[in-house]
Amino acid sequence: MVDVATSSEAGPPGSADEVPAVSLRGLSKSFGDVHAVRELDLDVLQGEFFSMLGPSGSGKTTVLRIIAGFEAPTAGTVLLGGKDVTSVAPFERDVTTVFQDYALFPHMSVLDNVAYGLRVRGMKRSERRERAAEALRTVALEGRETRRPTQLSGGQRQRVALARALVVDPQVLLLDEPLGALDLKLREQMQVELKEIQRRVGITFVFVTHDQEEALTLSDRVAVFDNGRIEQVGPAEEVYERPQTTFVAGFVGTSNIFAGSAAQRILGGGDFAVRPEKLRLGPRGRDLGTEISLPGTIAEVVYAGAVTRYYVDLDETGTRVCVAVQNQRSDHAIADVRGGPVLVGFDRANSFPISAPADQTPVAAPTKEEESA
């Protein structure tokens, strides 16, 4: 087990000159005629919290299973710490996996569940129980050693599964949507705890999720998957603030896409996008203080707690955009402003180019034509 006191003093994830914790080269996987992964290259740095994000069927879970050794690639190589493990059996790889369903033994105590991996490795009973108790302290479950998994909450069972994975001190910890079975409030709490644990133990975490907010909250870097390929990989802030493709702009959060003639008319260039919170809204005739101001009509208003979302049909381009306005007053009330004329503004610095034309409309509301169809 990693010494928590020592590992908490560790620096940031590994630098570029270090051997990556995980390297994938030319990785492909086919199931008959289905190409789940397509010629993928990827490096995960030592000590980093790395997330693979994408919709169902995008290839992220298949990649995780290949790293674990549960699936053999059709082509390509898998390296752990610079060592080629492509043909190495799962139990011989220095990785452990935490699953969404926990996979705990219901007839065993919490302590015995955590110690099981050490037992399989032949460690003496007294030593493995000591190591297991230390792992439970790491995940804040001391005092629950004698309980059965059925006597624990969902969040506690997830922490037991995490302790069982950490106790064998793996080189890489793989997490396959481990928070997916939890309710929203507990899920948000576990996100914070999981990140704190990862920083303390200093082990490389590779995390699979389809939840964009979860990936942004947890990760040092995020790889966005679609159709078996990585669309973009980078720090969470970069992926959100500067998405490189239409797919990333639409999948990671909400984006207002301006394509073709609309983009040309507004900024005089190629396709671009603006996040809803980067747009400003005001009455016509008022200076918004932005470089670009576009007249429009409010089509819909949605109160969402922290923000109110205004859907505006722009007069000149026919584009529908979403403007997110922070609700800063406790007595905030939604006025019946549907159909009202407004201005929508933004600065060029808050727009970002996207590389592909919008073959779909990844905005949060239907166009006027779709609504009337």
Residues 233 and 145 in one domain: yes
Q: Is the pLDDT of residue 295 over 50?
A: yes
| pLDDT one-digit tens code per residue, 29-44 | 999 999 999 999 999 9
Owning domain of residue 105: 4-246
pLDDT in the model for residue 329:
66
Q: Which two tokens stand for residue 30?
A: 């086919």
All residues at 6 or more sequence positions from 153 whose CB lies less than 8 Å from its CB, including other chains: 186
Q: Is the pLDDT of residue 311 over 90?
A: yes
| pTM, to two decimals | 0.83
Contact criterion met (CB below 8 Å) for 174 and 202: no
Residues 271 and 364 in one domain: yes
End-to-end CA distance of the chain: 61
**CA separation for the pair 200, 197 (Å, rounded):** 5
Residues 11 and 138 in one domain: yes
HSE value, Cβ hemisphere, 13 Å, CA-based, for 332: 14
Task: Tell me the percentage of the chain whose pLDDT exceeds 90.
Answer: 62
Report the phi/psi class of residue 254: left, alpha or beta, with left for phi > 0 and alpha for psi in -120 to 50. Answer: beta
Residues 238 and 300 in one domain: no
Residues 89 and 208 in one domain: yes
Instruction: Find the angle CA(146)-CA(148)-CA(151) to the nearest 5 degrees.
Output: 110
pLDDT category of residue 330 using cuts at 50, 70 and 90: low
**CA separation for the pair 225, 232 (Å, rounded):** 8
Do the strands 49-53 and 204-209 form a parallel or antiparallel pair, or are they unpaired? parallel
Q: Is the pLDDT of residue 369 over 90?
A: no
Which residue did the predictor score with more confidence, 90 or 179?
90
Which residue did the predictor score with more confidence, 363 or 213?
213
pLDDT in the model for residue 360:
41
pLDDT in the model for residue 24:
97
| pLDDT one-digit tens code per residue, 99-113 | 877 788 999 999 999
Q: Is the pLDDT of residue 7 over 60?
A: no
Residue 290: which CATH number?
A: 2.40.50.100
pLDDT category of residue 16 using cuts at 50, 70 and 90: low
3-state class of 97 per DSSP? strand
Residues 179 and 280 in one domain: no
**CA separation for the pair 373, 368 (Å, rounded):** 9
Q: Which residue in this structure is represented by tokens 């909450």?
A: 153
For the chain, how many structural domains are there in total?
A: 2
Q: Is the pLDDT of residue 115 over 80?
A: yes
Residues 236 and 329 in one domain: no
Segment 333-339 shows an average pLDDT of 62
All residues at 6 or more sequence positions from 226 whose CB lies less than 8 Å from its CB, including other chains: 54, 55, 58, 247, 251
pLDDT in the model for residue 340:
87
Segment 228-234 shows an average pLDDT of 96
Lowest mean pLDDT among 4-8, 265-269, 313-317: 4-8
Average pLDDT over the chain, rounded to whole? 86
Last residue of a domain, one of 189, 211, 246: 246
Q: Which two tokens stand for residue 373?
A: 């169809």
Closest of 170, 142, 189, 203 to residue 4, by C-alpha: 203
Q: Is the pLDDT of residue 183 over 90?
A: no
Residues 217 and 260 in one domain: no
Q: Is the pLDDT of residue 86 over 70?
A: yes
Residue 127: which CATH number?
A: 3.40.50.300
Q: Is the pLDDT of residue 348 over 90?
A: yes
Q: Which two tokens stand for residue 315?
A: 């007069």
**CA separation for the pair 118, 248 (Å, rounded):** 42
| pLDDT one-digit tens code per residue, 54-72 | 999 999 999 999 999 999 9
Task: List Cα–Cα distances, 14 to 48, 234, 335, in angstroms.
Answer: 7, 15, 52
pLDDT in the model for residue 240:
94
pLDDT in the model for residue 255:
92
Q: Which two tokens stand for residue 48?
A: 């980093």
Report the phi/psi class of residue 288: left, alpha or beta, with left for phi > 0 and alpha for psi in -120 to 50. Answer: alpha
Residues 203 and 310 in one domain: no
Residues 294 and 329 in one domain: yes
Q: Is the pLDDT of residue 372 over 80?
A: no
pLDDT in the model for residue 78:
98
- Enter the DSSP assignment of 118: H
**CA separation for the pair 88, 344 (Å, rounded):** 57
The pair phi, psi for residue 231, each rounded to 5°, is -80, -35
pLDDT in the model for residue 233:
97
Contact criterion met (CB below 8 Å) for 184 and 161: no
Report the phi/psi class of residue 46: left, alpha or beta, with left for phi > 0 and alpha for psi in -120 to 50. Answer: beta
pLDDT in the model for residue 45:
96
pLDDT category of residue 5 using cuts at 50, 70 and 90: very low
Q: Is the pLDDT of residue 48 over 60?
A: yes
Residues 40 and 74 in one domain: yes
